[in-house]
Structure 1
Amino acid sequence: MASEAQRVPGSPAWWASRTPAPAYRRGRPPMDVGRIVDTALKLIDEVGIQALTLRMLADALDSGTATLYRHFDGKDELLALVADRILGEVRVPPEELDGLSWREAVTVAAEAFYGTLCRHPHALSLLAAQVPVGPNGLRARERLITLFLSHGFPVGLAARAFTALGHYVIGFAIQQHGPGTPRPEEQSQLRDYYNALDPDSYPSTTAAADELTSVPLHEEFRFGLDLLLDGLEKVRRNSSQEPEEVRGHARGH
């Protein structure tokens, strides 16, 4: 089973077993992996994941597919590195978080993550395919969980908060910006469709037709994010009060 898991690009076993390419092999000199991955992401942004081929990538690099196969066993391995490359693009300088409440700091981090995903709509499915455990994914996870812990979140709640936040941001980006999602001009068609429904059968939908199709995406994103943070704040307060209640109960006995 372990050997099978290692063959799945992007899995924990694959990342754990991955080693840098040797500095020298026969044939052409090795190519910088970072350059290969950056070029692959650029092509995905232009043509999409399905259209990308190793031949296309090799041509863009002015190289041959044999050179690429010296670094990757196939396209799936390349895509796993592209996914991690996207996570490495999220930048939140520590000084931007200085003096902020946990909620403000998490909002800055979530907005930065969302903004990065919006720049790569054709690659969004890569972030949903597997748990991101590459180098950049691990660093992002460590930073955000540390942020929660530094603001008094218990370890269990910090872990759940991180997971919920990641699911929300990635899910929202995929639904609203992924391939095939309605464009702004199509929203008016959707509004007309809702308005044309039988109001006796769909009274609530027809009443909310304008609101369902007119809220800017960024406002919708922040609304959902604020609801999530409201819930986390409530749970955080309850968890911080519990030890004191337990101690008081113990003293009473």
Structure 2
Amino acid sequence: MPRPAPERVTRVVLTRELIVHTAVELVERRGPAALSMRAVGEELGVSAMAMYRHVASKDELVAGIAEYVMTTLDVPEPDVPEADWKDGARSLMRAFRAIAQEYPRSLALALESRTGIPVALRAIERALSLCARAGLDGPTSVHVMRSLMAYTLGSQLREAGMGRLLSRQAADPAETVRSLEPARFPHVVALPDELVDHGSDADFEFGLELFLSSVEPMRAP
């Protein structure tokens, strides 16, 4: 669930929580490249120097963003040993997708940064434990865990990017697809409504089952 913004007053009272929350909003609106102490200070109407009492550096700010985002991850608790490992994997990937939907750019920043590793360890441990239950060896488990995160985050970034692209189209996107030359794009023209439906959970669930079925042959006998 998204966190409520810390209460703001006419005269800004700086706290670490307020600075980190503002940084998350900035990253989600303008992207990770826009993040700097100065940019966050401008958002709050204060100087960058005023924030150093609460956040010592940009690296510490990124660590705060990682903590802010990853602590919202509802990591499913380990279930009974006899349970199907795929059920646990589905629960974990859906939980990871939930924060990817809420904080796609901040989550990408957290995963790219070394500072995000400690707060992500619960999710990593859970993923590796599921891989162990599936009978995967150590190196394969690490590959599967990374692929799990990449698929979940990548699918959300694709949906968000496609949504922004379609929202900028003046005409109905489906009608634009229908107007294409059938001789050149016969399959595209045949599926206009399906192609512009970019936000369906059905796409994610379909890919999730493909992902899990591809892991199945890797299991030890």
Distance 1:141 1:86 in 2: 15
1:55 is matched with which residue? 41
One-letter code aligned to 1:151: A
Contact 1:58 1:68 survives alignment (8 Å):
no
Distance 1:46 1:154 in 2: 41
Where 1:89 maps in the other structure, the secondary structure is coil
Contact 2:63 2:110 survives alignment (8 Å):
no
Q: How does 1:4-23 map to 2 (within 5 A)?
A: none
User: Closer, same or farther in 2 for the Cα pair 1:101/1:40, shift >3 Å?
Assistant: same
Distance 1:156 1:190 in 2: 44
The alignment status of 1:73 with 2:19, answered yes or no, reads no
2:193 is matched with which residue? 210
Distance 2:115 2:194 in 1: 35
Question: After superposition, what is the alpha-carbon deviation per residue over 1:166-209, rounded to whole angstroms, capped at 9, x for unaligned?
Answer: 110111111112597345796x8332222111111111111222
Question: After superposition, what is the alpha-carbon deviation per residue over 1:200-229, rounded to whole angstroms, capped at 9, x for unaligned?
Answer: 111111122232223652111111111111
Q: Where in structure 1 do 4 or more consecutive aligned residues deviate above 6 Å?
A: none
The alignment status of 1:190 with 2:176, answered yes or no, reads no
Where 1:134 maps in the other structure, the secondary structure is helix
Question: After superposition, what is the alpha-carbon deviation per residue over 1:74-118, rounded to whole angstroms, capped at 9, x for unaligned?
Answer: 3x54134313431221012416x4464111111111111111111
Given candidates 128, 131, 155, the residue that maps to 1:148 is 131
Distance 1:138 1:200 in 2: 52
Structure 2, unmatched stretches of 5+, are 1-13
Given candidates 211, 214, 217, the residue that maps to 1:231 is 214
1:174 is matched with which residue? 157
Contact 1:141 1:162 survives alignment (8 Å):
yes
Where 2:135 maps in the other structure, the secondary structure is coil
User: Closer, same or farther in 2 for the Cα pair 1:233/1:81, shift >3 Å?
Assistant: same
Distance 1:148 1:135 in 2: 20
2:146 is matched with which residue? 163
Identity fraction in percent: 24
Q: What is the Cα-based RMSD across aligned positions, in Å? A: 3.3
User: TM-score normalised to the size of structure 1?
Assistant: 0.66
User: TM-score normalised to the size of structure 2?
Assistant: 0.74
Distance 1:40 1:137 in 2: 19
Count of residue pairs brought into register by the alignment: 203
Distance 2:101 2:114 in 1: 19
From the CA coordinates, give the structure whose radius of gyration is larger.
Answer: 1
2:117 is matched with which residue? 134
Structure 1, unmatched stretches of 5+, are 1-30, 242-253
Contact 2:74 2:95 survives alignment (8 Å):
yes
Where 1:201 maps in the other structure, the secondary structure is coil
Distance 1:165 1:190 in 2: 31
Question: After superposition, what is the alpha-carbon deviation per residue over 1:31-71, rounded to whole angstroms, capped at 9, x for unaligned?
Answer: 86455424432454567653872314554xxx763342243
One-letter code aligned to 2:41: R
